[in-house]
Structure 1
């Protein structure tokens, strides 16, 4: 009898875990191009790019793009609202259009394998590097950009979101974003996330999260957002 009870308990545990995984799949964006939490990478990037520690004025750069919300879908009214998404788009546009952001990206270069055409698509690896100017040309290719947004619950420590390259649809995990950037108001944290995902929409995939266009754009946006949250803007 005791042996049967143990076997039954094991079976119940397996079933419970299987159900848990199913729920997670429905409520969390997961894909090979998902944007993972990487606070260590952010900190290392700041050490290597000391200019990001300087006081920010948000002076406007020479390039400009304005992001707008298109279709908006949320799986729960308790998650990020359309109003917050609209505010985030304004903040993301402000970050992207700042001289500081454009100068930082312009000073970088990246592995050629960042180029891709679709999720899981074949990438061509070349020795030449992608210049920062090339990345900027991609980001500001269009003066007005409308992005479709989907908000799911996610979980702390999970993927922040996912966007297939050369598409305008961004899926985001609310809890993942709010936990990863808990020091920022949610509209500013979401704006940073949008900047990162915007790099995917113009044709860049993740590499091995090193020498990575989308990651570094997200990190630059993050440090600018931190300073926006603590310093008055005069730009």
Structure 2
């Protein structure tokens, strides 16, 4: 892992602290950070324990997924290109129930505290809010803020004053329009595969998602870490 982190106000952007302990993520020449993935993993392991409890650990089988997410987060253009990822797009993180998608997205954003980061919102919460407030919710989540929509596909159909609405489908259409105008990315976690997403949200949303996201997938045989 290498490459750039420019425009840093922090004199030590390669040093992050967890519980009073400093973790060096690589080398810094005054203009950019050259990240060392093994050091990044050591930091993430410690940060994960502080966020999720002492039982947290980065499993060997997850390191490839972490490498992709970390390369994306630090905008390592060369590594992302090799892994066929576009740093201008968002992340669509897919995998079985309990494989750790949400925890990963909560964790890797701490790698870049100096950058504007995303808020993680459960998709079902957006639908529940729509049921109470109505179509303003779609407008609100289609705005210029940074979001990661968590557990896309498990939310129910929305209903407001008798009108049914595929709320997250409409939110994604709005986010696509925002992406085209501003290049502000959206991130998603989901248990659904590409075919299931198309069945749930339709061809027009699936087509837009191809333009918006880098697909990162856990192996379908990944075990449930909650068990």
Q: TM-score, normalised by structure 2?
A: 0.22
Q: TM-score, normalised by structure 1?
A: 0.22
Q: Which has more radius of gyration?
A: 1
Higher relative CO (Cα under 8 Å, sequence separation at least 6) belongs to: 1
Greater share of residues in strand? 2
